[in-house]
Structure 1
Amino acid sequence: MNGKLLNTEEIRSRLTDEGTGCRLFYCEEVDSTNDWAKREGRKGVSGGAIYLAERQTAGKGRRGRAWNTAAGTSVSMSLLLRPDLPADRISMLTLVMGMAAADGIRRACGLDTQIKWPNDVIIGGKKLCGILTEMSSGTDYVVIGIGTNVNVPAFPGELAGTATSLLLELGRSVSREVVTAEILNFFWKYYKIFMDTGDLSGLSRRYQEILANRGRSVRVLDPAGSFCGTALGINDRGELLVKRKDNGETEAVYAGEVSVRGIYGYV
C-alpha cells in the first residue's frame, strides 16, 4: 500500500474518449500540485494538462489550510485549464469538479458519496476529498486542485472525527489509478456540458441529487451577519439557496464570500 508509486500509464489506459486528449505529468515530490500547475500556466502551457504528485510539502486547502500528503496513500492532482469564460463564471468549476469526484469515486468503489456544498466530497458525514480552484489575475488560466484520501490508514486528533478515506470505508486498499481515471473521466464529461451552457444549468439536477446539505439545517457564516436556515439546493450559478429561519426569505449564498456549516457533526 505505502511506497507504491502512481502508475500514470495505467491512468491513461483507463481514460474514456473525453479524457484522451489530456496530458499527464507526474513528480514524486512537489511543494504543491496547484503551485506546479500555476508555474506551468505562467509559461504558457496549454489547457488540459494534469499534474500529479506522490507527496506535497506545501499543499493547500481552502482558506489557507495545509494539505500535505504521505506517499502511496492519496491522490494529489491539479488540472490546468484555459476556459473562455468571464471571471464570475470560473468559480463554478469548483462545483463541476466536486460532482466529478463524487461520481468518479462512486463508479470506482461503489460508495454512496455526497457533496457538502460547494465542493467537499463526503461519505457518512466525513470528508473524503477537498478541492481548491485558483485563477491567474488576468484569468488567462485556471487551476483546479483536488486531494483524495484513498489508502490513508488513520487520521490524527480531531481529524479522526471529520475525515475518512476509501481504505477506512471499504476495509481494503483501493487502486489509486482507477480512482484518478474515473474522476478525470467524469470531469471531462461534466466540463464539456458546463462549457456548452456557461453555467450549471445542465448539471444542477445531478448536483442536487448528491447534495448532502439539501433539506438540512445550516448556519451561514457571513461577515455581514450570520443566520440559520434550511438549504434548498443550488441555482444555475452554483449559489446555495437557503430559506432563512428568522424571516422565511430565501437567500442565495455565494461560496467565495461565506462559509456554511451543518454536516460535520455541528450546525
Structure 2
Amino acid sequence: RRVSTDLHCEVLDVSGGENITELCKRKKNFKTTRSPRMSVEIPVVNARELMNAASQGKVNVIEKYLADGGNPNLHDELKRTALQRASLRGHTAVVQMLLEKGADINFKDQLGSRAVHWACRGGSLDVVKALKSHGADLNVRDKLYSTPLHVATRTGRTAIVEYLLSCGAKINSRDREGDTALHDAVRLNRYKIVKLLMVAGADTKIKNHEGVTAVQQVKQWQLDIMDTLQRLEKLREVPPENTSRERSE
C-alpha cells in the first residue's frame, strides 16, 4: 500500500544537550528547518512502520515515537489512525498510551468509524472498556448510521454486546437501512445476541425501511429457504438424458 506523502512526524526538538559531533552524525537522517525562535530537526517518517507498530502492539516503538514529539493522530491514506488500528487488534496498552498522549478518541476515518467501532469489530472487551473510561460515546454513528451495538452484533461479539447494554447503549437505534441491532442479530442468526437484546427490552415492532420487523425477517428467511429447496428439488427431478439433450441443443 502506497503511503501518502503528507504523513510526516511532528517536530522533534533536539536543540541543546548534544555535542557537534552527534549532530553531524544525525544530520544525514534529518531534514532541518529553522524558525526565528529555535532550531529544530524533523525526522523523515516511515508512516507505514508506525501503523504496523500499532497493529502489532509494539509498545516500545509507539512510546519512542510519542516521546520524540510524534503526532498521536497520524493516519494512513484511509484516515485510520494508530488508535483505530490498535483498537481493532485489541492492543490495550497501545490504546491507553495513545489516549494519554492526546490521541483523538473521536477521530473519524473515511467511513466515519471511530476507535470504538473498530474495537467492537476486533472483539476486545478490554479495549472497549478503556475507550469508555476515556469518554468514548457508545452511541456514536458512522456514515452508515451504525452504532457500536450494530457493529458488535454483526460481528458476533456477544460479550461486547452485553457490556454495551449494561452501559445503557441505545438498544433500538436504527442504521441507514432502518435496521436495529435486533434486525441484524436475527438476519445473521446470532441467537445469543438475540436473547440478550430481547431480555434488555429491544422493540420487536420496529420496522426497517422495507417495512419489515425483526420477527417478520424470520418468516421471510424461512420462505426464501423453502423456495430455494423447492427449486433444487425440481432440478433433481429432471432426468439426466433431458439435461444433456438440452445442453447439446
Between the two structures, name the one with larger relative contact order (CA 8 Å, sep ≥ 6).
1
Which is helix-richer, 1 or 2? 2
TM bin, normalised by shorter chain, reads under 0.3
TM-score by length of 2: 0.25
State which structure, 1 or 2, has the greater radius of gyration over its C-alpha atoms: 2
